[in-house]
Amino acid sequence: MRFSLLNLIRQSFDANRGWPEQWRSPEPKASYDAIIIGGGGHGLATAYYMASEHGMTNIAVVEKGWLGGGNTGRNTTIIRSNYLWEESEALYNRAMNLWQDLSHVLNYNVMYSPRGVMMLAHNTHDVQVFKRHVHANRLAGIDNEWLSPEEAQAFCPILNISHNLRYPIVGASLQRRGGVARHDAVAWGYARAASALGVDILQKCEVTAIRRDATGAISGIDTTRGPIATKRLGVVAAGNTSAVMQMADVRLPLESYPLQALVSEPIKPIMPCVVMSNTIHAYMSQSDKGELVIGAGTDAYTSYSQTGGLHIATHTLDAICELFPTVRRLRMLRNWGGIVDVTPDRSPIIGKTPVPGLFVNCGWGTGGFKATPGSGNVFAHQVATGEPHPINAPFSLDRFTTGRLIDEAAAAAVAH
């Protein structure tokens, strides 16, 4: 009986049957003023800001699967802006400022929770790096502060600060405005708000070709739901960007890696904040459902695997059990790998391409979710006006030919 009911529900949702009229994916128009490829958080945010801030409503978001079904739904939801370089500070702080009022602006609860992000230092090098971050952030007007081991434990009581650890905790930096949000709620909130402004959101609509006119400029796309004409095309398809851009004969400096994470069985609240450790590469927070959300690292080799190497998760769990001994008996419910695109300097590409009318937003690596509102906001400006916003101007594609890189990986040892 239960099986039959589930099958009935699945069949009724198939091909848009069973959905209220206002929730159904509309039929594509023959042409749009602009098209965004990618129905994740960044793509939906881009469409929303194009409509709300630039008055463009004849636009479409094209998604091959369902909204938020890619990396938006496969991340550990951490939000912070305590990056080192000025370009990164400006971009992530724009996102942080938008996060604070996002539920009110979208009239949808994205569950933004500024519970604090604490980054642990285990040696002299960590102390020097994180104190440098603290000072740089304060100069930029971004909150960040230094804690002693005792202050770190007072902020997160289950943290083990024993001197007998393999990697003893010698201090920590804390950004109190940092925290988490509900990943799928962010996608739904932007989707609903964009749709209310007239944006067409086309699910189950895979792009099969990018069309160009005699001059080489963008003229439209071919999809599984038919051809669509446009002269402006923005690509925001994490994990699939290179494949999409190849349709326009554009090659990008991207490599794809599985980034692993785990979720425990749900328990009562024990974790009041987000705690991250670069040296042992593990971080943890607790979801509103009670699950402990544990982040691991990327594999050392390129891959499109949805799981990644088992040793990565094993190493992370060993570290988590040492930092938080109280969780040793918890069982893990899920282990997964989201595919992240990374650039040589581990910072995103946001801007135009050599093809007229084609814009790209990609290469976020492990920093994509936290940047969602800021990324969509500045990319909307780029696609709508054809010119970069001052915040995303440094993240143009040509920095890889000029050598003006924004190397946050070298600065922080990790870019989560």
pLDDT in tens, 36-93: 999 999 999 999 999 999 999 999 999 999 999 888 888 899 999 999 999 999 999 9
Residue 332: Cβ-neighbour burial (10 angstroms; 0-12, 13-18, 19+)? middle
pLDDT at position 343, please? Answer: 93
More confident position, 363 or 11:
363
Domain borders along the chain are: 32-113+180-253+344-416, 117-176+255-342
Check: CB of residue 207 under 8 Å from CB of residue 244: yes
Check: CB of residue 270 under 8 Å from CB of residue 324: no
| Tokens 């709508």 belong to residue | 384
Q: Looking at the DSSP assignment, which residues form a beta bridge with residue 211?
A: 220
Check: CB of residue 143 under 8 Å from CB of residue 133: no
Give the model's confidence band at 7: pLDDT under 50 very low, under 70 low, under 90 confident, else very high: very low
pLDDT at position 411, please? Answer: 59
Whether residue 108 has pLDDT greater than 90: yes
d(CA 178, CA 334): 25
More confident position, 299 or 67:
67
Topology of 117-176+255-342 in CATH? D-Amino Acid Oxidase; Chain A, domain 2 (3.30.9)
Percent of the chain with pLDDT over 90: 77
**To the nearest whole number, what is the mean pLDDT of the chain?**
90
Q: Give the pairing type, strands 171-175 and 332-342.
A: unpaired
Q: Which CATH code of 3.50.50.60, 3.30.360.10, 2.40.50.100, 3.40.50.720 fits the domain covering 32-113+180-253+344-416?
A: 3.50.50.60
Mean pLDDT of 271-285: 93
Check: CB of residue 296 under 8 Å from CB of residue 312: yes
- Residue 339 is given by DSSP the state E
Look at 84-93, 296-305, 345-354, 383-392 and tell me which has the smallest mean pLDDT: 296-305
Q: Looking at the DSSP assignment, which residues form a beta bridge with residue 350?
A: 361
The SS3 call for residue 207 is strand
Give the model's confidence band at 229: pLDDT under 50 very low, under 70 low, under 90 confident, else very high: very high
d(CA 99, CA 202): 26
Report angle CA 394, 399, 403 to the nearest 5 degrees: 120
End-to-end CA distance of the chain: 45
Backbone angles phi, psi at 83, to 5 degrees: -85, 165
More confident position, 82 or 281:
82
d(CA 36, CA 341): 18
Mean pLDDT of 254-265: 90
Q: Taking phi first (over 0 means left), then psi (-120 to 50 degrees means alpha), and beta for anything else, what does residue 115 get?
A: alpha
DSSP 132-183: HHHHHHHHTT---EEE-HHHHHHHSTT----TTSSS---EEEEETT-EE--H
The SS3 call for residue 319 is helix
Percent of the chain with pLDDT over 70: 91
pLDDT at position 146, please? Answer: 98
Whether residue 11 has pLDDT greater than 50: no
Give the chain's radius of gyration (CA, Å). 22
More confident position, 400 or 306:
400
Mean pLDDT of 8-35: 64
Binning the chain into helix, strand and coil, the percentages to the nearest 5 are 35, 25, 40
d(CA 370, CA 387): 24
pTM above 0.75, yes or no: yes
The SS3 call for residue 101 is helix
pLDDT at position 410, please? Answer: 61
Whether residue 243 has pLDDT greater than 50: yes
More confident position, 165 or 217:
217
Alpha helices (H) in 14-123, listed in sequence order: 41-54, 86-106
User: What distances in angstroms separate CA 312 from CA 296, 299, 304, 336, one per listed residue?
Assistant: 7, 7, 16, 11
d(CA 175, CA 146): 9
